[in-house]
Amino acid sequence: MTWLTWRQFRAQTAVTAAALAVLAIVLLITGLQLSHTFDTTVIGCRARGDCTGVINALQRQDTALQDLTRLLMYVVPAVIGLFWGAPLLARELETGTYRLAWTQGVTRSRWFAVKLVLIGLATVATAGLLSLMVTWWWSPLERVATDRITPGEFSQSGIVIIGYAAFAFALGVTAGLLVRRTLPAMAITLAIFVGVQLAMPFLIRPHLITPVRTVSALKVANVKSVSIVGGGGGGTLSVGAAPNIPGSSGAWIYSEQVTTASGSTDLGPAPAQCGPNSGYNACQAAIARMHLRVVATYQPASRYWALQWYETAIYLAAALVLAGLCWWWVRRRVT
């Protein structure tokens, strides 16, 4: 059964291995260059005082590869789900070869279990290797822009891609089992996977760890914008401020609100100094006298790995549940 799985999967293995090899070579060469640039220019930039310049230069190096690796991290799990997962059962059911496969000397459940496990392992290995290469390549860039916990960056690094890939694979297998036709199964897998990926950062990830909530006094220096909502003679004041978060930046900010000293988000009427004819400094001074506060809810950057593990675990658990469901179904029903 191992031989058969390998033989039927031979082409995919070859293509994947070749692609990974090519990628590895390209990333190795360019990654070493990136590291070198970092080591020679960024380290010690503070002493020289040219940090902004060298950081910009570093971030402009190999932008094509930056885009490519980000794209791969998004796309590879979906591709695995579509091309390794969906056809696994759907192809056999669609072409009728299950009538040959399931009348040999191995039971259906064994046939399915071996395929599922072996290709599942290949999925995990591929995702793991990709993640390793990409994370290593990005490390110099990560050190200059440490916002990897934010939603835009979170899924591009670390180990979550392994969870994504395993889940997409299991999803593909399930879709193939239920729909019994390869192309519709691929379409459904894609649709559901994209839906889950879009929903995750908004619906689930924010609740994995209770975020930190800070209340701090509004410093005039942190005021980003002042506006008056509602026209006419007096409108309500609206102030936008950058939160003052202890430690490094790069935290994932859920929300930040400016409130009055008593905690109300209604800041009341705008002070006279902030009318259309007044100067900015007078307005600022008036706002400072209002003793406003900033309430921020966020995940600090230090929680990056904790979130990574939790999220990966959730996706892996979902993958296992789907796989178990499929195995049970193949054993008991199917046709």
Partner 1 sequence: MTAVLETRGLGKRYRRRWALSDCTLDVPSGRVVGLVGPNGAGKTTLLHMATGLLRPTTGTIHVLGAPPPATPAQLDQVGFVAQDTPTYAGLNVADHLRLGAHLNRNWDARLASDRIERLGLDRAQRAGKLSGGQRAQLALTLAIAKRPELLILDEPVASLDPLARREFLQSLMEAVADQELSVVLSSHLVADLERVCDYLIVLVASKVQVAGDVDRLLATHHLLTGARRHPVTLPEGQQVISASHTDKQTTLIMRTDGPIHDPAWTVSAVGLEDLVLAYMSRNAPGPRPALEVQR
Q: Which residue has the tokens 């905690």?
A: 263
Q: How far is the CB of 165 from partner 1 (least distance, A)?
A: 25
Contacts of 263 (CB under 8 A, 6+ apart): 293, 295
Task: Report the C-alpha gap between 1 and 115 in whole angstroms.
Answer: 8
Closest CA to 165 of 209, 197, 201: 197
Helix (H, G, I), strand (E, B) or coil at 258: strand
Q: Which of 47, 49, 64, 105 binds partner 1 (CB under 8 A)?
A: 105
104 or 236: CB nearest partner 1: 104
Count CA atoms within 13 Å of residue 65 on its CB side: 22
98 or 164: CB nearest partner 1: 98
Q: How far is the CB of 6 from partner 1 (least distance, A)?
A: 10
Which residues inside 56-95 make contact with partner 1, applying CB under 8 A?
95
Contacts of 105 (CB under 8 A, 6+ apart): none
Instruction: Tell whether residue 99 is a contact of partner 1 (CB under 8 A).
Output: yes
Instruction: Tell whether residue 247 is a contact of partner 1 (CB under 8 A).
Output: no
Candidates 106-114, 206-214, 227-235, 318-326 — which segment interacts with partner 1 by CB under 8 A? Answer: 106-114
Which residues inside 2-31 make contact with partner 1, applying CB under 8 A?
3-4, 7-8
Closest CA to 135 of 56, 27, 295: 27
Which residues are paired to 93 by β-bridges?
Answer: none
Instruction: Tell whether residue 1 is a contact of partner 1 (CB under 8 A).
Output: yes
1 or 314: CB nearest partner 1: 1
121 contacts 213 by C-beta, under 8 angstroms? no
223 contacts 241 by C-beta, under 8 angstroms? yes
Backbone angles phi, psi at 132, to 5 degrees: -55, -50
Task: Report the C-alpha gap between 182 and 93 in whole angstroms.
Answer: 9
Give the contact letters, 108-147, x = binds to partner 1 (CB under 8 A), - = no. Answer: x-x-------------------------------------
107 or 265: CB nearest partner 1: 107
36 or 99: CB nearest partner 1: 99
Q: Which of 52, 63, 103, 262 binds partner 1 (CB under 8 A)?
A: 103
Instruction: Tell whether residue 181 is a contact of partner 1 (CB under 8 A).
Output: no
Instruction: Tell whether residue 97 is a contact of partner 1 (CB under 8 A).
Output: yes
Give the contact letters, 275-314, x = binds to partner 1 (CB under 8 A), - = no. Answer: ----------------------------------------
106 or 295: CB nearest partner 1: 106
- The binding site for partner 1 (CB under 8 A) comprises 1, 3-4, 7-8, 95-100, 102-108, 110, 333, 335
